[in-house]
Structure 1
Amino acid sequence: MDLITLVAEPWADYGLIDSGHGRKLERYGRFSFIRPEPQAMWAPAQPQWQADGDFIAASDDDGGGKWHLSRDVPRGGWHVQWEELRFLAQNTPFRHLAFFPDMAPQWEWMRERTGEGAEVLNLFGYTGVGSLALAAKGARVTHVDASKKSVEAGKANAFLSDMADRPIRWMVDDAVKFAAREVRRERRYDGIFLDPPKFGRGPEGEVWRLEEHLPGLITHCRNLLDADSKFLVLTVYAVRMSALAIGELLRQATADLGGRVEVGEMAVREEARGLLLPTAIFARWVRD
């Protein structure tokens, strides 16, 4: 398997302005923010940064921290846009801004392979931007997330995008349990997209550990695909894991389906110098 790089380019409502010395400066709509970024080991292009907010990480390794925001930043969020979609950006306690802009190339890639009436499953769907991107192309989307708050945010984003009437099933559920039930129901999907966290809990306290539970979930996903299915996309953040490793996992799981597996890194292009800031790894099976 060859390694490829998917690059998220700047767009009107998002851009990586500068990066370096373990931090990054980004714009989200009309606001700019500074966040920790361990992979930005180089020096920044600009000696001084001006921002509307700064996330200060906790001194321990639990991933905590706190936002320090100017009074102008709406605590309830503000509207941003990607292509025809409108959705909410917001400063979350987990240092994110309620969507992942580096996913844009994956959304575009899946949209190219999604036709009217296609059945698509989005596991760990978060606030639903990926689900809306596919529904906008006519797909019937099943969106699954263990967080009721995230699913409600997805519904709100659908309303903002004038897509509240689109055929999207919004499910608050544990991804592994849901996928296993779909296998027993003999359901099938034209495409599956999953973006699992390193660790998480389901709505009934179910524990998710990526390294332990991912192989079984991929097996369930394979059993939800058939000879007419088009894609299976897996993205992984913040783990000591190789793209080649998750690529081999998908290759073995989909070997009987034909098609091919692509693996690589996801990155965002910095506006200051054009350099690439890596963000995640991915593997995806596709039938062209």
Structure 2
Amino acid sequence: MADLLPLATLVGDAWEDYGLVDSGCGRKLERYGRYRFIRPEPQAMWQPALPQAEWDKADGEFVPASDEDGGGRWYYHRPVPAEGWPLGWREARFTASCTPFRHLGFFPDMAPVWDWLREQVAGKTDPAFLNLFGYTGVGSQALAAAGAAVTHVDASKKSVAQARENAALAGIAERPIRWIVDDAGKFAAREVRRGRRYDAILLDPPKFGRGPNGERWQIEEGLAPLLADCRHLLDADSRALFLTVYAVRMSALAIGELLAQLFADLPGKVECGELAVREEARGLLLPTAIFARWSRHD
């Protein structure tokens, strides 16, 4: 039976091409390769550690709209390549760019998640990995580099195309990665009917989204049935499932209990808690998301 363990914090540290430089007063200062950007961060309620002169060195800033619809725009203080610029994480390579959605084409706080999943499948012969809501594919690259056969699913044709380009940039275009444009829920349900199984699954769902055929995704409605299907895609020989949840009024304990119930018939443990990024200026931890994960005991 999968036991639910106490709340945990999974911390991401800086690496060569990314770092959380400073944070405070509802904003965060980050470096993405040679460029620095300021983005809104409501949870940074404290004062910044660095003087304003350091923040003034930012190449651009995303300023949110005055409403609650998540809009806003980028303002640039220095030239930034509109076509993006190359970055890397371990073996992965990808293009960063300033998107209209305030992020830069990947989610750096997922780095410890990618490391954890690689650890779970280490030593497994020909592990099969499913990346739902795979976006631009850095997580898919991370598992492919660890020897997994990856199924990458995203509802956005543009995102999957970018994921393929990123894989080519990393020199792994010939690795066994299936690139699929599909609604995550419908795809998972079909995989259950096909009798497919996986060794590890990553789910990084948005709060709201649309499938390629107009399918409506609302996390409060769709998460439980999607996780139930994911449970059927795993068995006692599988290794792990990792779920992240962003920007919703939901508790880590709630998704942890949901996962513990769904995985009650499998050996292993269920953990839940927060993802956080360690600030370079003073080591402060900035929370970014909640998570729940299942892993099998060895």
Q: TM-score range by the shorter chain?
A: over 0.9
| Corresponding residue pairs, total | 288
- Letter aligned with residue 143 of structure 1: H
Q: Counterparts of 1:129 and 1:81 in 2: how far apart (Å)? A: 9
Aligned pairs for 1:19-168 within 5 A:
19-48=23-52, 49=55, 50-114=57-121, 115-168=124-177
Percent identity over paired residues = 70
Q: Counterparts of 1:39 and 1:29 in 2: how far apart (Å)? A: 24
Q: Counterparts of 1:112 and 1:272 in 2: how far apart (Å)? A: 29
Pair 1:195 & 2:199 matched = no
Residue 98 of structure 2 aligns to a residue whose secondary structure is coil
Q: Counterparts of 2:116 and 2:102 in 1: how far apart (Å)? A: 27
Pair 1:232 & 2:241 matched = yes
Residue 174 of structure 2 aligns to a residue whose secondary structure is coil
- In structure 1, runs of 5+ residues without a counterpart are none
Once structures 1 and 2 are overlaid, which stretch shifts more, 71-80 or 274-283? 71-80
Question: Which of 20, 25, 28 is 1:16 aligned to?
Answer: 20
The runs of 4+ residues in structure 1 deviating greater than 4 Å are none
Question: Which of 193, 218, 221 is 2:230 aligned to?
Answer: 221
Q: Give the equivalent residue in structure 2 for 1:284.
A: 293
Q: Any conservation in 1 of the 2:271–2:292 contact (CA below 8 Å)? A: yes
Residue 261 of structure 2 aligns to a residue whose secondary structure is helix
- Letter aligned with residue 144 of structure 1: V
Residue 256 of structure 1 aligns to a residue whose secondary structure is coil
Residue 265 of structure 2 aligns to a residue whose secondary structure is helix
Aligned pairs for 1:177-188 within 5 A:
177-188=186-197
Q: Determine which structure has greater relative contact order: mean sequence separation of CA pairs < 8 Å that are 6+ residues apart, divided by chain length.
A: 2
Once structures 1 and 2 are overlaid, which stretch shifts more, 106-115 or 188-197? 106-115
Q: Give the equivalent residue in structure 2 for 1:252.
A: 261
Give the deviation of 1:227 after TM superposition. 1.3
Q: Deviations over 1:58-81 (max 9, x none)?
A: 010000000112452101110011
Residue 113 of structure 1 aligns to a residue whose secondary structure is helix
Q: Give the equivalent residue in structure 2 for 1:205.
A: 214
Q: Deviations over 1:20-52 (max 9, x none)?
A: 000000000000000000000000012311200
Q: Counterparts of 2:186 and 2:198 in 1: how far apart (Å)? A: 17
- In structure 2, runs of 5+ residues without a counterpart are none
> What TM-score results when the alignment is normalised by the length of structure 2?
0.95
Q: Give the equivalent residue in structure 2 for 1:2.
A: 6
Give the deviation of 1:116 after TM superposition. 4.3
